[in-house]
Amino acid sequence: MENASILDVSRLKKYFNTPQGIVRAVDDVSFSVHRGETLALVGESGSGKTTIGHVIMGLYAPDAGKVLYKGKYDLSIPIRRRPLELKKDIQIVFQDPGTSLNPKRMIKDIISLPLRVHKIDDGVKTYESVAKILDYVGLGTEYMFKYPHELGGGEKQLVAIARALAARPSFMILDESTSALDVSSQAKVLKTLIRIQKELSMTYLLITHDLGVVRNISSRVMIMYLGKIYEEAPTERFFSSPLHPYTKMLLSSVPTLSEEDERIKPQGVESVGEIPSAVNPPTGCRFHTRCPFAKPICSQRDPPDFILREGHIVRCWLYE
């Protein structure tokens, strides 16, 4: 079942009407997520990465394109009209556990809600199931009777993960799930996520801007800029030979800790300019306004996929 896809997104578009004009948040995007992998969707603000996550969750209806889950479920259906078994199968962990956990509920109630909604019955009492789940994510049973405000950021995020796991999903969206945490808590959460994936063959879509996290948890990387995917590669290859000028700019902007990390950063692509507004995105390749290698064609025509070896895809006229 290696490489069998669990999610297929094709020609997805999602636009928003705003007083300033139409924001093309996601503009003709296609990709697949393979079973058991961690696909990292990387981009800066306004890239549309979170919008994609929300479309998959059914929080936004796509304006065009197809989103197919497990070959049979149409994800253009909003969440409230989805069958219960589909809702159960796709879970999300948000960035800020401070706002995604109900402050008035004890942890035991937060985690038992999905058990009740999805009628998950292990033949034991609900609270025994809750204790098992808490234990599984590395929090002790003593957390059952605490409120979210009594926990630290990392612990709250582990509760959010436990709540997602309680529904027994096969696919989880991690939307900047470790971005708000200290490095120490982040390390614990990452370790837990990696263990969960190994033990439960979980599939993750990791939405993030943090390339260090990407390197450590994902198996494949996609780079988004202003609503489009510009590069896609297996993680190892992505870091050893990034191709798109934007990818290079991103990598070379990361402040690093060691000389080994410094050496991996591409040379000669200094960060310049500002991310343009998604209301009037540049014509042709949307990155051409900041690209040091832009040619006349870049401002005229949107580059197609150039498929290189080992699943490395780049959308850039330099690789024509």
Partner 1 sequence: MKVLNGVCMNLRKGQRIGIIGESGSGKTTLLKSILRILPPNGKIVSGKIVYDGKDITNFSEKELSRIRRREIGIIFQDPMAALNPVFKVRDQLYDILRYKLMEEGVKPTSQMLGEYSLELLSDVRLPDPERVLNSYPFQLSGGMRQRVMIAMALVSANKLLLADEPTTNLDVTIQDQILKLIHRLVVEKNLSTILVSHALGMVNRMTDEVYVLYAGDIAEHAPTSEIMKNPLHPYTQLLISSTPRLSSVGVGEGIRGKLPDYREPPQGCRFAPRCPYAMDKCFTVKPRVIRQNNDHHVACHLYE
List of residues contacting partner 1 (CB under 8 A): 44-45, 152-154, 182-188, 190-191, 209-213, 215-216, 239, 249-258, 260-261, 263-265, 271-272, 274-276
Least Å from the CB of residue 85 to partner 1: 35
Nearest Cα neighbor of 227 from 53, 52, 47, 67 is 47
**Helices within the chain (DSSP H only):** 49-57, 84-89, 97-100, 107-117, 126-136, 153-166, 183-200, 211-217, 235-240, 245-253, 259-264, 296-300
| 72 vs 267 by CB, closer to partner 1 | 267
| 248 vs 315 by CB, closer to partner 1 | 248
Cα separation of 47 and 289, whole Å? 15
| 37 vs 89 by CB, closer to partner 1 | 37
Residue in this structure with the two tokens 């902007």, named with its chain if needed: 253
Least Å from the CB of residue 237 to partner 1: 14
Least Å from the CB of residue 287 to partner 1: 11
The alpha carbon of 282 is separated from its chain's Cα centroid by a whole number of angstroms, namely 25
| 41 vs 86 by CB, closer to partner 1 | 41
For residue 24, list its beta bridge partners: 15
Least Å from the CB of residue 196 to partner 1: 15
Least Å from the CB of residue 153 to partner 1: 8
| 79 vs 187 by CB, closer to partner 1 | 187
Residues 13 and 211 sit within 8 Å (Cβ to Cβ): no
Pairing label, strands 21-34, 228-234? unpaired
Nearest Cα neighbor of 245 from 258, 231, 257 is 231
Least Å from the CB of residue 69 to partner 1: 29
Helix (H, G, I), strand (E, B) or coil at 81: helix
Cα separation of 284 and 27, whole Å? 13
Least Å from the CB of residue 251 to partner 1: 7
Residue 267 in tokens: 């040379």
Cα separation of 182 and 156, whole Å? 13
Backbone angles phi, psi at 122, to 5 degrees: -95, 5
| 13 vs 146 by CB, closer to partner 1 | 146
Least Å from the CB of residue 134 to partner 1: 17
For residue 175, list its beta bridge partners: 207
Residues 12 and 48 sit within 8 Å (Cβ to Cβ): no
| 1 vs 183 by CB, closer to partner 1 | 183
Least Å from the CB of residue 194 to partner 1: 9
Pairing label, strands 38-42, 64-69? unpaired
| 69 vs 225 by CB, closer to partner 1 | 225
| 6 vs 162 by CB, closer to partner 1 | 162
Nearest Cα neighbor of 56 from 5, 117, 12, 99 is 12
